[in-house]
Amino acid sequence: MNVLREYFGRNVRQYGIVLALLLIVLLFQLLTDGRLLAPNNIAALFMQNAYVMILAIGMVAVIVAGHIDLSVGSVVAFIGGLVAIMMHNWGWSVPLAILAALVVGALVGAWQGFWIAFVGIPAFIVTLAGMLIFRGLAIVLVGQTIAPLPSSFNRIGNGSVANFLGFAGQMDVVTLVIGVIAIVGLVVSQVRARANLIKHELTVEVFGVFIGKLVVMGALIALVTYWLSLSRGGTPIILLIVGVLVLGFTFLMNRTVFGRHVYAVGGNRNAAILSGVSARNVDFMLFVNIGLLSAVAAIATTARAGAGVAAAGQNFELDAIAACFIGGTAVAGGVGKISGAMIGALIMGVLNMGLSILAVDAAWQQAIKGLVLLLAVALDIVSKRKGALR
């Protein structure tokens, strides 16, 4: 019993976020008379909030290292307008325009990373300047809406994975296969991670808790898979892209030297430097990384809209930062997980969709999201103070 109490005490924040998401979903499911969890709404939830998830992946690493990036929304507008110009005005092919957008995103990140890492200007100031610079460039580039864009490009944000396996009743078989692969991958990765901890004689959760966690996570994936299989198109293409990014960057942060250096720099920068970590290189690469992910978000957003728009990306940085903090990333740095940020992004997405279905005014939606963010950060600070007093 003491072991269980100690385990849940250490992980109360993590499980609290998941519980909060489930309670919010249940609340809106009741308030909307069951419309929230309609299959087509589940698919739309992922399509509409893909940009938050993509940006939050990069923002987690930036915040963990003790920085912030206020420019990502403007960068999304700038690169989104640029990729639309490439295809509509210049006649570039879709793959070439996407590749160019990714290169531009990395260059934007390198530009900001240079001032932060090697000149020593605080990230808050550099990215605030970037927010103004790239929003201005977006307005200059996109004087008016640029459309139409190639249908193959638009499918990235609006399309679904082709169903080449047919249907089982009304369920899309391709979606069911993807769900099974996801569950198997979850089980294998968790078992291997636990075995690795045991091999190195590190603390692991009680076996019963471990099995229970797998059952709950597997059941949630199965439920989402079931709903998506009944939706109009099946699995959204953008959801697969987000899934690949989450897996890749989770591996980067948890299993590589670079990831360990990010946490070391965020936990104690001076100690990390004394131990041989190049904090400047870490900072530089973090902003190259989030610049690249901003380009991916720009592609997803532009494809979703089917046009290049100068006003795209408004408040995207706030949504991404909020998703990270709601998901348990520490304000002071050193602590944060991509999985937590994804849950935070889903909480934001469910709030948006639920309030929209209830026809709540957009101004009130902003106020409610701000209150949720404040409560999440307050909970983080209070829990840390309690931990320090023990």
Which residue type sits at 298? A
Domains with residue ranges and CATH for the chain: 2-158+238-389 (1.10.3470), 160-235 (no CATH)
Between CA 374 and CA 354 the distance in angstroms is 20
Q: Can you give the pLDDT of all 390 residues of the chain as single tens digits?
A: 554 455 555 555 667 788 888 889 999 999 999 999 999 999 999 999 999 999 999 999 999 999 999 999 999 999 999 999 999 999 999 999 999 999 999 999 999 999 999 999 999 999 999 999 999 999 999 988 999 999 999 999 999 999 999 999 899 999 999 999 999 998 998 898 888 888 877 777 788 888 988 998 899 999 999 999 999 989 999 999 999 999 999 999 988 999 999 999 999 999 999 999 999 999 999 999 999 999 999 999 999 999 999 999 998 999 999 999 988 888 888 889 999 999 999 999 999 899 999 998 988 888 988 888 888 777 767 766 665 555
The model's pTM is: 0.93
